[in-house]
């Protein structure tokens, strides 16, 4: 197998850097939810909405960025999108009203989500199929890398400089990532051999693609519950210091990065994406069940399973994302990946306040139980047989 070009790993690194950089502002704010509550004087559900406000803009803009990526390539959309997010995050640092911050963060999400579809297209366009699992695993590390940096930096920054300082740090990191992508990203020198063929007509004529989207939507529920409210759970239920809790989740993010790459390698060796995803889902079910029990009892088991759940619930994201892109084919990959992320963010946006209300009324264990139920429902939805049938044909 010939490599598309020796620069493929540099292009992937630029995509990873862009996504990781903007992740601090788009996904790292839940790590400072207690500080957001104090800064704005709001309840936990409202603080959750503020912290996840970028998801509003992400929901509205992902498909459009995907279409633009299909037409103009990754360099333009990453430079403009991530750069625009940096400016809006900087503006949010000077806004005093909570709902004004929500609006600015939503705008940052709409701009910065360009990195989500751009990075995926880099994998599909620069890498051949036997390398794509590992490459997509590395690309998915961008999120966990960004969250690791956020976990180690944002809580201490919030303590020293407040939420305004957090926003400025996020803006600065995003701006640097945008400049690097805009200057150094390039187009592949030729078509990648063995690239996923373009399906006849709409890619959505394939039932498997709908099932991949649905699987990811269900998997988002435990991811959001654990990722958004995990730090608050450690602080309120177990009496942890906020900085220490953030560091635990940062460590989990590092472990999650290694797990995503390993899952990608596993899928390359087997030539399958969905069968490994199903096994990872079974592992997540076990961790979530123990998390519910441990949190309900307030035992140390809950802390251990919270850390494990933070790793395992996101381990299969790259496999579903890659499967969606390969089913779409190169001509429609940007739009389909935009739809895939839109499904995930729609669910996340709905789950965040609902989980906050559930926690307020019944406790953290109840929210974790809801995530467990959704992961269980996803098992028959994962299109394992469809994938094997396609491979056999």
Predicted confidence (pLDDT) per residue in 2-44, tens digit: 444 678 889 999 999 999 999 999 989 988 988 898 888 888 8
From CA 377, how far away is CA 380, in angstroms rounded?
A: 7
Confidence at residue 390, expressed as pLDDT on a 0 to 100 scale: 60
Positive or negative, the Cα torsion across 190, 195, 196, 197?
positive
Mean pLDDT score of the chain: 87
**Residue 228, Cα to own-chain centre: how many angstroms?**
12
Confidence at residue 168, expressed as pLDDT on a 0 to 100 scale: 96
pTM to 2 decimals? 0.76
Judge whether 324 and 209 are in contact, CB under 8 Å. Answer: yes
Residues 6+ apart with CB under 8 A from 62: 113, 116, 117, 338, 339, 341, 342, 345
- What tokens appear for 192 in the block? 């990648």
| pLDDT band for position 389 (cuts 50, 70, 90) | low
Judge whether 64 and 150 are in contact, CB under 8 Å. Answer: no
CA-wise closest residue to 334 among 68, 75, 8, 78: 68
From CA 218, how far away is CA 63, in angstroms rounded?
A: 20
Percent of the chain with pLDDT over 90: 47
Judge whether 213 and 380 are in contact, CB under 8 Å. Answer: no
From CA 360, how far away is CA 366, in angstroms rounded?
A: 10
**Residue 317, Cα to own-chain centre: how many angstroms?**
8
Rounded to 10 degrees, the C-alpha dihedral 353/355/356/359 comes to 160
Judge whether 321 and 142 are in contact, CB under 8 Å. Answer: no
pLDDT of 193 above 80: no
| pLDDT band for position 173 (cuts 50, 70, 90) | very high
| pLDDT band for position 247 (cuts 50, 70, 90) | confident
What average pLDDT does this structure show over 158-168? Answer: 93
| pLDDT band for position 325 (cuts 50, 70, 90) | confident
- What count of Cα atoms within 13 Å lies in the side-chain half-sphere of residue 14? 24
Confidence at residue 133, expressed as pLDDT on a 0 to 100 scale: 87
Confidence at residue 5, expressed as pLDDT on a 0 to 100 scale: 62
Confidence at residue 210, expressed as pLDDT on a 0 to 100 scale: 93
Confidence at residue 2, expressed as pLDDT on a 0 to 100 scale: 46
Confidence at residue 370, expressed as pLDDT on a 0 to 100 scale: 96
pLDDT of 84 above 60: yes
From CA 60, how far away is CA 78, in angstroms rounded?
A: 17
Angstrom distances, CA of residue 339 to CA of 47, 326, 334, 335: 27, 14, 9, 6
pLDDT of 68 above 80: yes
């Amino acid at each position: 197998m010939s490599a598309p070009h020796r620069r493929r790993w540099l292009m992937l690194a630029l995509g990873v850097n862009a996504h990781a950089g903007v992740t601090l502002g788009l996904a790292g704010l839940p790590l400072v939810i207690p500080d957001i509550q104090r800064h704005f004087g709001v309840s936990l559900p409202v603080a959750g909405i503020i912290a996840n406000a970028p998801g509003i803009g992400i929901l509205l803009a992902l498909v459009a960025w995907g279409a633009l990526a299909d037409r103009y390539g990754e360099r333009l959309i990453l430079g403009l999108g991530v750069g625009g997010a940096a400016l809006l995050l900087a503006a949010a640092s000077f806004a005093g009203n909570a709902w004004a911050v929500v609006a600015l963060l939503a705008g940052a999400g709409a701009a910065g989500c360009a990195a989500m579809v751009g990075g995926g297209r880099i994998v599909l366009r620069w890498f051949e199929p036997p390398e794509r699992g590992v490459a997509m695993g590395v690309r998915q590390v961008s999120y966990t890398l960004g969250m690791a940096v956020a976990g180690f930096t944002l809580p201490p920054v919030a303590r020293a400089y407040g939420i305004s300082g957090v926003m400025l740090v996020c803006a600065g990191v995003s701006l640097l990532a945008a400049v690097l992508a805009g200057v150094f990203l390039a187009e592949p020198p030729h078509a990648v051999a063995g690239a996923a063929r373009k399906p006849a007509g709409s890619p959505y004529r394939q039932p498997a693609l709908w099932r991949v989207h649905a699987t990811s939507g269900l998997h988002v529920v435990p991811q959001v519950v654990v990722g958004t409210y995990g730090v608050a759970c450690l602080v309120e239920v177990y009496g942890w210091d906020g900085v220490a809790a953030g560091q635990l989740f940062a460590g989990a993010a590092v472990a999650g990065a290694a797990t995503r790459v390993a899952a990608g390698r596993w899928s390359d060796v087997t030539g399958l994406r969905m069968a490994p995803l199903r096994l990872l889902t079974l592992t997540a079910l076990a961790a979530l069940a123990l998390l519910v029990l441990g949190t309900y009892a307030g035992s140390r088991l809950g802390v251990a399973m919270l850390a494990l759940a933070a790793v395992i619930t996101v381990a299969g994201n790259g496999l579903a994302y890659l499967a969606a892109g390969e089913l779409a084919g190169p001509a429609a990959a940007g739009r389909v990946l935009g739809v895939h992320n839109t499904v995930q963010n729609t669910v996340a946006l709905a789950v965040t306040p609902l989980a906050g209300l559930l926690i307020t009324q019944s406790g953290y264990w109840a929210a974790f139980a809801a995530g467990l139920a959704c992961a269980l429902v996803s098992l028959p939805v994962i299109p394992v047989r469809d994938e094997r049938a396609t491979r056999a044909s």
